[in-house]
């Protein structure tokens, strides 16, 4: 396994441990919907939580790991999260979190974890005469 893949897997392990310590159950890891991947799907009594984990060994240009989750990734997480909830017929609220991990290469251990609960809200799309309900709706003219 390449070093960057190993560090990423260790970061996801650390994020799962972080969630378990806070009472979450891990439902899935590395869930895929086509080309979209969600690193961790967890749940508690109230929420289904979709977590993007970013692990880095250095702060490149003072950019923290969690800052690498851009608008496209957020959109893809929203699409995959909605599909997951519908496929499994889940009735809990959805939440999208980001976990940034700084890995200490010398100790080969977690250096720092920053966890953003409810890091972003999915953008809702509206259509003329109605609102977005979690599915794309197209109107013929």
Whether residue 136 lies inside any domain: the answer is no
- Give a yes or no: residue 81 inside a domain: yes
Contact 92, 46 (CB under 8 A): yes
Tell whether 139 is covered by a domain. Answer: no
The token duo for 11 is 């970061």
Considering 70-74, 86-90, 124-128, the range whose residues carry the highest mean pLDDT is 86-90
Average pLDDT over residues 33-43: 93
CATH of the domain at 37: 3.40.1350.10
The residue segments making up the domain with residue 104 are 3-131
Determine, yes or no, domain membership for 49: yes
Please give the model's pTM, rounded to 2 decimal places: 0.80
pLDDT of residue 108: 77
The number of folded domains in the chain is 1
Mean pLDDT of all residues belonging to the chain: 81
> What is the average pLDDT across 19-35?
95
CA distance 45 to 16: 17
| Per-residue pLDDT band at 133 (split at 50, 70, 90) | very low
């Amino acid at each position: 396994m390449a070093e960057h893949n190993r560090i990423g897997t260790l970061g996801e392990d650390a994020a799962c441990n972080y969630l378990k310590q806070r009472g979450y159950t891990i439902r899935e890891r590395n869930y895929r919907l086509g080309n979209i991947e969600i690193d961790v799907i967890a749940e508690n009594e109230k929420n289904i939580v979709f977590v993007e984990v970013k692990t880095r060994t250095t702060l490149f240009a003072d950019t923290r790991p969690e800052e690498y989750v851009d608008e496209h990734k957020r959109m893809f997480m929203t699409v995959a999260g909605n599909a997951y909830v519908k496929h499994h017929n889940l009735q809990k609220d959805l939440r999208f979190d980001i976990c940034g991990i700084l890995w200490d290469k010398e100790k080969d251990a977690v250096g720092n974890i920053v966890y953003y609960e409810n890091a972003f809200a999915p953008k809702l799309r509206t259509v003329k005469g109605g609102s977005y309900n979690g599915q794309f709706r197209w109107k013929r003219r």
